[in-house]
Amino acid sequence: MTKLLLRKMIRDMKRSMTAYILCILIVAIGFCGFTVLELCYDNLAESRDMFFSQSEFCDGFAQVTDSPVSEAGILKMIPGIDSVQARLVKDTRVYGYEEDVELHLVSWSEGEMNRPVLSRGTLPEEGKKEIVIGDGIAKARNLNPGDTMEIVVEGKRIPMEITGIGLTPENIYMIRNMNELYPSPAVYDAAFTSYRTMAQMFGQEGHSNSFLFKLEPGSDWEAVKDRIEQALKPYGLISHYAREDQLAVSMVDEEIKQLEKMSGVVPVLFLTVAGVILYITQSRMVEQQRTQIGTLMAIGIPLRKIRLHYMGFGAVTGLLGGLFGGLLGYALADPMAGFYRVYFNLPDVTAPLSVSYLLEGILLAGIFCSGTSWIIAGVIGKMKPAQALRPPSPKSARQSFLERIPGFLNLFTVPGVMALRSLSRNRRRTAMSVAGIAFAYMITATLVSMNSLFDVFIFDYWEKTQRQDIMVQFEQPVLLEDALEAVKHPQVENAEGMLEFAVTLSGPGGKTDCTIQAISPEASLTRLYKEDGSRAYPEEEGIVISEHMANVMGVKKGSTIEVKVPYPKERLSRVTVTDTIAQYMGSSAYMSFGGAGRISDYRNVCTTVLLKAPLTVQEELRVRLEDAAAVSGIQSRQDRLSQYRSMMGSMSAIMASMSMLGVIISFAVIYISSLISFEELKRELSTLMMLGLKSKECLDVISTGQWLLAAGAVLIGIPMSMGASQLISVSMASDMYTIPSFIDGKALLQAIGLTAVSVGFSSMMMLRKLKKIVPADLLRERE
């Protein structure tokens, strides 16, 4: 008997092959995503852990203004600290390029922590003018061991021989400041030279401005950080933090966490849609096979065995979908992991392919789809053999809610009214179809809106907040009058100074590390905007913070917060929040020059000059300031925008291709629902054809139902999309950036258009089926 039921299942699945293939495809897509994300998680974590081990990565960092190297011996005496390393860290310009290129130069000597891991070449020798550069800038500038690079140190050009290519874990994500989001290794990357060489170049023999810490086994950073702070305060302590709080490490860790979260969400979404398709298909099949079920029960086959037979439909669908999805995921995982490794400059390590993900995907998909089929077959348990052998009672002919709306039926032709009544008399299937299309709409709208997210998230800052053409940065604060005089040029339309310094803001809800940007209240090259789009201005006293900072600290406009300035002398002040702004990238708060001077020792100085001028002025300034010791870089805002747009171009293409998944899912649900309606209404459609209606006119019976389902799904899908946007915003927020609620009207309309494409394509498929109907043959058949 088991063999007989197996043959019946194969025969039944062949009859509804299209529906089951679509269901398998959707399950496969979901578990392909699951496998890819899980393997990327493994690869990224494996690369990180191996990199940390190879480089002998430290447990903590401290940055000071200037300290004797001998302080490392004193710090080592703190209980819980195993070893301490003093070093020099400086940003320096590179000579010889049209663009402004900088290196984050770090000293390193044999046997010390944070050893550069080389992909090529050798480490620099002590005291020689040799350098190891990062992999990113080496690839971007086509540099190799043996080449020479000139760096500018205090206005002097110093040739350095490149002996190797490599980097350390703290340099895998290199950005100049917190207002940049994406690394650009062609213009900013890490480099390493010996301590003796670097100390001689900068005239700082016996001095350091950075310390690395290795903790004793069993000790943690919280236990030693206060003692470190007390010891380094006299030397201008700027910051000290555990390695997990270091920017590059925290970014990689955050990405790993996001991969783990997404790997759990993706299969759930696709399994939900697959469950909808399976429910629609099998519930119809169970209804059609009442007499078969009754016959099986009458000849003595146990009810449980019959339900298991119908559960097999879901089991086969889930197992095949999970298998194909897992295998496809294995094929795509390595290229995806390679993208992450390149993005974060991680070593090329491939974690072994884990069969557990394939088995997990097959098992989960099989259990879910089997469970759906078991629930559908539950209706069998309510029937007796004699009852099952009789045809089902006619469905209620009561008017639906829509039909009772005055004048609503007048909007439709006779075929349209037939479609409306077909939907209302199959309410469960209609509800499931609407739910499936709503999920597809949510996926489509979310992916489509990612492009608008980039505009708000990145380009708003560089196009709306920052309005300068050129930005001249200084290594340390300089007098505002001197800075403006240094960049004076007849073609400069406007020049404004800006002061940046690090602070810690604290409120009743928490604290955040950020930078203060001091600007003039009348500044036109730095513009601040509130959530409603209106301008905000820094007042003479008070501070302007982002909405995210306000939420972190639990404050609002009018609240008072504590501002801690660590350098050049630690100062604590209470400042009023005068406004909050919509700023998603970077961690900057804003004050007037006067307000910044009252809470710190920075008075009448600036660290940056913003210029409104033609780009030709940039080249002239670069030549004029080439040997200026105080200038650390000259940047073009347009160059930075071009770099971002180039990076976003490939990302937009990926999002566009992923948006098509929503179209495929919408089509699958709409087509399966339409196919079942078509099978149910074949006799009615044949009668309409006998009365003289053409295939296109009869299509209204099916297509009207499709459009009504899509319209109802969109109404439900819009709030679902907005809710998904809020969840993504909350889950992906970090100290460095926040994700705004990115669903907008344009994205919702685009998603509606793509859903309409799905309906149109499904209607085309239905028209082909209608043209194959032979009315006389169908009308001769008995019910």
For 30, the token pair is: 């979901």
- Of 743, 127, 27, 136, the residue nearest 453 (C-alpha): 743
Q: Provide the sign of the torsion angle of the four alpha carbons 289, 294, 299, 304, taken in this order.
A: positive
**Residue 726 has what pLDDT?**
77
Q: Model confidence over 726-765: pLDDT tens digits?
A: 777 766 666 556 666 667 778 888 889 888 888 888 888 8
Neighbours of 478 (CB within 10 A): 18
**Pairing relation of β-strands 130-133 and 188-193?**
antiparallel
Q: Are 104 and 247 in contact (CB under 8 A)?
A: no
- The predicted pLDDT at position 209 comes to 93
Confidence of residue 638 (pLDDT cuts 50, 70, 90): confident
**Has residue 5 got a pLDDT over 80?**
no
Give the strand pairing for 101-107 and 188-193. Answer: parallel
What's the 3-state SS for 595-655? HHHHHCCCCCEEEEEEEECCHHHHHHHHHHCCCCCCEEEEEEHHHHHHHHHHHHHHHHHHH
Please tell me the total number of residues recorded for the chain in this structure. Answer: 783
Q: Which of 96-100, 348-352, 554-558 has the highest mean pLDDT?
A: 554-558
Question: How far apart, in Å, do the first and last CA atoms of the chain sit?
Answer: 29
Instruction: Give the whole-angstrom CA distance, residue 171 versus residue 191.
Output: 9
Percentage of residues of the chain with pLDDT beyond 70: 85
| Average pLDDT estimate for 669-679 | 81
| Distance between CA atoms of residues 22 and 30, nearest Å | 13
Mean pLDDT of 494-513: 89
Whether the pLDDT of residue 343 is over 90: the answer is no
Q: What's the pLDDT at 783?
A: 45
Query: For residue 102, what are the β-bridge partners?
Result: 93, 188
Alpha-carbon distance of 315 to 342, in angstroms, equals 40
pLDDT at 30 over 70: yes
Report the alpha-carbon distance of residue 376 to residue 371 in Å, rounded.
9
H-type alpha helices, 344-404: 355-376, 385-389
pLDDT tens sequence across 101-115: 889 999 998 888 999
Q: pTM above the 0.75 mark? A: no
Q: Which residue has the tokens 């496809």?
A: 328
What 3-state class would DSSP assign to 660? helix
Question: For residue 348, what pLDDT is reported?
Answer: 62
Q: Give me the pLDDT at residue 221, please.
A: 92
Q: Residue 203: which region, alpha, beta or left (left: phi > 0; alpha: psi -120 to 50)? A: left
Supply 39's token pair.
């393997």
The average pLDDT across 625-648 equals 73
pLDDT score for 497: 92
Omega prior to 568 cis, within 30 of 0: yes
pLDDT-based confidence at residue 668 (cuts at 50, 70, 90): confident
| 719 close to 743: Cβ distance less than 8 angstroms | no
Identify the residue whose tokens are 């940049």. 180
DSSP 455: I
Which tens digit of pLDDT belongs to each residue from 543-597?
999 888 888 899 999 999 999 988 777 889 999 999 998 877 657 899 999 999 9
Render pLDDT for 259-307 as a digit per residue (tens, 0 to 9). 777 777 778 877 888 888 888 888 878 877 777 777 777 777 888 888 8
Name the more confident of 734 and 238.
Answer: 238
Q: How much is the average pLDDT of 119-143?
A: 91
Helix (H), strand (E) at residue 767 = helix 745-771
CA atoms within 13 A on the CB side of 550: 20
CA-CA distance, 446 to 450, in Å (whole number)? 7
Q: What is the rounded CA–CA span in Å between residue 589 and residue 528?
A: 10
Cβ(172)–Cβ(343) below 8 Å = no
Of 459 and 72, which is predicted with more confidence?
Answer: 72
Any idea which of 53-67, 421-435, 569-583 has the lowest mean pLDDT?
Answer: 421-435
Give the pLDDT confidence of 392-425 residue by residue, as tens digits.
666 555 666 666 677 766 767 777 777 777 777 7
Cα separation, 596 vs 498, in Å, equals 11
